[in-house]
Amino acid sequence: MDRIRIRGGRPLAGEIQIGGAKNAALPLMATGLLTEDRVILSNVPKLADIDTMTLLLAQHGLAVDPVGNDGRTLSIGGPIANTEAPYDIVRKMRASVLVLGPLLARVGEARVSLPGGCSIGTRPIDLHLKGLEQLGATFDLDGGYIDGRVTGRLRGATIVFPFVSVGATEQLLMAACLADGQTVLANAAREPEITDLAECLVRMGARISGIGSDKLIVEGVERLHGASHTIIPDRIETGSYACAAAISGGSVFLRDARLEHLGATVRTLREAGVEILEQPGGLMVKRLNGLHGADAMTEPYPGFPTDMQAQFMALMSVAEGASMVTETIFENRFMHVPELNRMGARINVHGASAIVR
d(CA 238, CA 35): 32
Specify the stretch interacting with ligand UD1 by CB under 6 A; choose among 100-108, 116-124, 150-158, 313-321: 116-124
Q: Does 185 bind ligand UD1 (CB under 6 A)?
A: no
Q: Which residues pair with 63 in a beta bridge?
A: 77
Specify the stretch interacting with ligand UD1 by CB under 6 A; choose among 80-88, 205-213, 273-281, 303-311: 303-311
Q: Does 306 bind ligand UD1 (CB under 6 A)?
A: yes
Q: Does 71 bind ligand UD1 (CB under 6 A)?
A: no
200 is catalytic: no
Q: What is the DSSP track for 97-161?
A: GGGHHHHHHHHSEEEEE-----TTS----HHHHHHHHHTT-EEEEETTEEEEE-SSS-B--EEE-
CA distances from residue 62 to 47, 75, 80, 81, 222 in whole angstroms, order as listed: 19, 10, 6, 8, 21
Q: Does 171 bind ligand UD1 (CB under 6 A)?
A: no
DSSP alpha helix (H) spans, 135-286? 166-177, 192-203, 235-247, 264-271
Site for ligand UD1 in 84-103 (CB under 6 A): 94-95
Nearer to ligand UD1, 77 or 300 (CB): 300
Contact of 103 with 59, CB cutoff 8 Å: no
Residue among 89, 157, 166, 252 that touches ligand UD1 (CB under 6 A):
166
Number of residues that bind ligand UD1 (CB under 6 A): 20
What is the smallest separation between the CB atom of 253 and ligand UD1, expressed in angstroms?
A: 25
d(CA 111, CA 5): 42
Residue among 18, 19, 23, 274 that touches ligand UD1 (CB under 6 A):
23
Q: Which run of H or of E encompasses 323?
A: strand 323-326
Q: Does 167 bind ligand UD1 (CB under 6 A)?
A: yes
d(CA 150, CA 176): 13
Residue among 127, 208, 247, 308 that touches ligand UD1 (CB under 6 A):
127
Q: Is 71 helix (H, G, I), strand (E, B) or coil?
A: coil
Residue nearest to ligand UD1 (CB): 167
Q: Does 52 bind ligand UD1 (CB under 6 A)?
A: no
Nearer to ligand UD1, 258 or 292 (CB): 258
Give me the active site residues, please: 118
Q: Which residues bind ligand UD1 (CB under 6 A)?
A: 23, 26, 94-95, 121, 123-128, 165-168, 305-307, 329-330
